[in-house]
Structure 1
Amino acid sequence: MKIVQISDTHLTASGGPTTDAFRLLARHLDEVVRPDLVVHSGDIQVLDPDDAADRARSRELLDLISAPLLVVPGNHDVGMPGLDAWAGISVTGERVAAHEAAFGPGHWRHDTGEATLLGINSELLGSGLQREADQWRWLEETRTDLPAGRPVLLFLHKPLWAVTDEPVDHQVDIGPVARDRLLGLLERIDLRAVGCGHLHRYRQVQRGKAIEVWAPATAFLAPGEDDLPEGHQELGYVEYTVADGEVSAEFRLVPGMPQLTTDDVPEIARAIEAMTAAV
C-alpha cells in the first residue's frame, strides 16, 4: 500500500506561488504517483483560520487530488492552544467547527487491508475545550478496539515528541502533559509511524518500533536561522509503503516545484496585514 503525506500547503483565495505549487503537486500525485491514500497534516490555509474565502478556496484545491484524502487541522486552520498562540490566534470551538464543515472530522480512524490510520487534532491538546475531552474519549475507545498486532500510523500537525529543550516564542510541539498522556495510550498499540508537519522540513527518527516523520511543506521553506533541529530543507512530500506488517517512509521531490521562501510569497505579507488590520 502506498500512502502520501502532504503538509503546510498555506493556500489562499488570492492564488499565488503556493497555489501554483499545489497544482503541480496534485498533478504529480494523480498522474505519476497514484497513491492509495493521501493525508494532509495541516496548515491547509495560508495564515488566518477565520478567512472563509481562504478556507473555501483551499477546499476546492484539495479536490484536485483524485486519491482518497484525509485531513487533520493545523494551527493556521483552527488556531493553537496555550497562552503564547501565534499572533494571538487561539483554538476555539467555532474555528474547529468551521474547519470540520469544510474538511471533515478533525480526528478519525481509517482502516485498510494493511494497517489502521489514526488522525487527531493536535491543536486541541492542552486547550481545555470540550472538544479536547471528546477527542481523548474517542482515543481511549479507539485504542481498545484495535486488534492486537495491527500496524497503526498516527497523523497530526505538531510533533509528538519534544522538538527543543529551549523556550521558543510559540508552541512548536505538543505540550508535555498532553504528550505523556498520548504516549501512554500509544504504548498499548502496535504503533509503526507518527507523521506530523508544522516545521516545514523533513526528518525521520526511530522511536522504538515506530518512525517519527516530519513532513516537508509544499508552500515555502522554513527560516534558515532558528533554534530547531536540522532537517532536510526542500519542499516535497512523504511517501509511505505499508506491506507485510512493515512501514517505511521516504522524502520525495515534485519535479519542477520551485524551492520558495516566504520572500517569494507576497500573499504572506498581505495576509499578515489583513489580520493586523482586523485586530
Structure 2
Amino acid sequence: MTEYRVLHISDMHLSQVRPHNVRNWDFCVAKIEELQPDFVVVGGDMVLDDPDAADDHAFAHAQISRITVPWRALAGNHDVGDTAPAPYQGQLVSNERRKRFLSLYGADYWARDLGDWRLIGLNDLIFASELEAEREQATWLAARLKEWREKPIALFLHKPLCLDTLSETVITQAAVTPVGRSRLLELIADSDVRLIGSAHTHRHRNFLCDSIAMIWTPTIGQVNQGFRVPRGGDQRTGWIMYTFRGQEVEWELMHFPELQPVDISELVKNYKAMRFVPPALSAALS
C-alpha cells in the first residue's frame, strides 16, 4: 500500500535584519532535503513580526523557496494581519495585506490529493472577517468537500480551531474565534474531516474534538514564555510528520537537538514586539 509523508512545519518568524531564527531554518531546510517528504505544509508566520514589513516578506519567501519538495504555505497573523476584536499590534487582516501574501505565495487556500486523502489548507485569518475573500473561500471549500464526499479529509489552519472544545465561547488571539469556528463547522458538517493540523501557539498539543484529531505543530525555534494558553502544552521545538496510508493516518512529533529554542521572552517584555528589538540583540540570540 502506498504511503505519503507530509511534514507540517510552522512559525519560522524570519528576518534578515533580525536573524535569530535563521540558524534553525537552515537546519530545517537541510533536514527536509534529507527526509524527502512527499509534501510540506508551511504553516504560517513566515514573517518575523510585522505583516507590513516588505523586506521581511521578501526574505521569508526566498527562504521558504529553498524547499525542493512540493510545498504550499498557509497565511499566519504575522503574514496578513490578525482577527477582530483584538488583533496583534492593532493590525487587522485586510485586503491589502492578503494581496501581498498572494503576490508571493499564489494562494492562501489550496487542496492537495494524496491517495485516499484530500489535504485542504485554509486562511483562518479571514474567518468572520466579512471580507469578500471569506465568502470566496467558503464557496471554494464547499466545492472541494463535495468532490471528496465520503473520503477522508485533513484540514490545515494557522490558528487552532479551539483551545479545548468546539463549544467554547472564549475569545482569544490564540485560537479561531467562536463565530469563525461555527462557520467552518457548518461547512464541514457533512464531510469526513478526520484531523485539523494547526500551529500559532509555538507549542504542541493533541486531543480529540467530536472525533476530529486536533494536532498542534510547534515552532522551529522562537519561544516566548509569556505567551500562554490553557493547559500548557509541549514547548519544545520541532515539527509534525504525518504518514497517510490508505484511509488511515499516523503522526509523529519530531524533535532535533540541532533545533535549539530561541527564547525571546525578555526581549518581548522589554520591547513589546520583536519588530522593535535592536537588530544586534536579535543577532546575539542566533
Same fold (TM over 0.5): yes
- Counterpart of 1:98 in structure 2 is 100
Task: State the distance in 2 between where 1:112 and 1:16 align.
Answer: 35
Listed as ranges, the gaps of 5+ residues in structure 2 are: 279-286
Secondary structure at the residue paired with 2:203?
coil
Listed as ranges, the gaps of 5+ residues in structure 1 are: 275-279
Say whether 1:156 aligns with 2:157: yes
Q: Percent identity?
A: 30
Q: How far is the alpha carbon of 1:58 from its aligned partner?
A: 0.6
**Superposition pairs for residues 204-223 of structure 1, below 5 Å?**
204-223=206-225
255-264 vs 98-107, greater mean Cα deviation: 255-264
Alignment-mate amino acid for residue 275 of structure 2: A
Secondary structure at the residue paired with 1:3?
strand
Task: State the distance in 2 between where 1:177 and 1:240 align.
Answer: 29
- Counterpart of 1:89 in structure 2 is 91
- Counterpart of 1:272 in structure 2 is 276
Q: How far is the alpha carbon of 1:82 from its aligned partner?
A: 0.5
Alignment-mate amino acid for residue 108 of structure 1: W
Query: Could you give the per-residue CA deviations for residues 218-239 of structure 1, whole angstroms, max 9, x where no partner exists?
Result: 1312425734222111010000
Query: Could you give the per-residue CA deviations for residues 25-74 of structure 1, whole angstroms, max 9, x where no partner exists?
Result: 1101111x221100011111001111111011111111221111111101
Q: How far is the alpha carbon of 1:250 from its aligned partner?
A: 1.4
Contact 1:158-1:173 at 8 Å conserved across structures:
yes
> What's the Cα RMSD here?
2.3
Using the size of structure 1 for normalisation, the TM-score is 0.90
- Counterpart of 1:243 in structure 2 is 245
Change (3 A) 1:103 1:131: same
Change (3 A) 1:264 1:18: farther
Using the size of structure 2 for normalisation, the TM-score is 0.88
Alignment-mate amino acid for residue 25 of structure 1: C
Alignment-mate amino acid for residue 177 of structure 1: V
Task: State the distance in 1 between where 2:163 and 2:253 align.
Answer: 22
- Counterpart of 2:133 in structure 1 is 131
- Counterpart of 1:41 in structure 2 is 43
Q: How far is the alpha carbon of 1:167 from its aligned partner?
A: 5.6
Secondary structure at the residue paired with 1:159?
coil
Change (3 A) 1:265 1:5: farther
Q: How far is the alpha carbon of 1:268 from its aligned partner?
A: 8.8
Change (3 A) 1:127 1:269: closer
- Counterpart of 1:178 in structure 2 is 180
Say whether 1:77 aligns with 2:79: yes
Contact 2:196-2:215 at 8 Å conserved across structures:
yes
Q: How far is the alpha carbon of 1:175 from its aligned partner?
A: 1.3
- Counterpart of 1:9 in structure 2 is 12
Contact 1:25-1:254 at 8 Å conserved across structures:
no
Contact 1:163-1:172 at 8 Å conserved across structures:
no
Secondary structure at the residue paired with 1:202?
coil
Contact 1:220-1:262 at 8 Å conserved across structures:
yes
Task: State the distance in 2 between where 1:14 and 1:271 align.
Answer: 10
34-43 vs 219-228, greater mean Cα deviation: 219-228
Task: State the distance in 2 between where 1:225 and 1:128 align.
Answer: 28
Contact 1:118-1:155 at 8 Å conserved across structures:
yes
Query: Could you give the per-residue CA deviations for residues 235-277 of structure 1, whole angstroms, max 9, x where no partner exists?
Result: 1000001102111211101341112211587999551369xxx
- Counterpart of 2:66 in structure 1 is 64
Task: State the distance in 2 between where 1:186 and 1:166 align.
Answer: 20
Task: State the distance in 2 between where 1:203 and 1:217 align.
Answer: 12
- Counterpart of 1:230 in structure 2 is 232
Change (3 A) 1:265 1:171: closer
Task: State the distance in 2 between where 1:49 and 1:215 align.
Answer: 22
**Residues matched between the structures, number:** 271
Change (3 A) 1:233 1:115: same
Change (3 A) 1:52 1:208: same
Contact 2:221-2:259 at 8 Å conserved across structures:
no
Task: State the distance in 2 between where 1:270 and 1:185 align.
Answer: 36
Secondary structure at the residue paired with 2:128?
coil
Task: State the distance in 2 between where 1:167 and 1:115 align.
Answer: 32
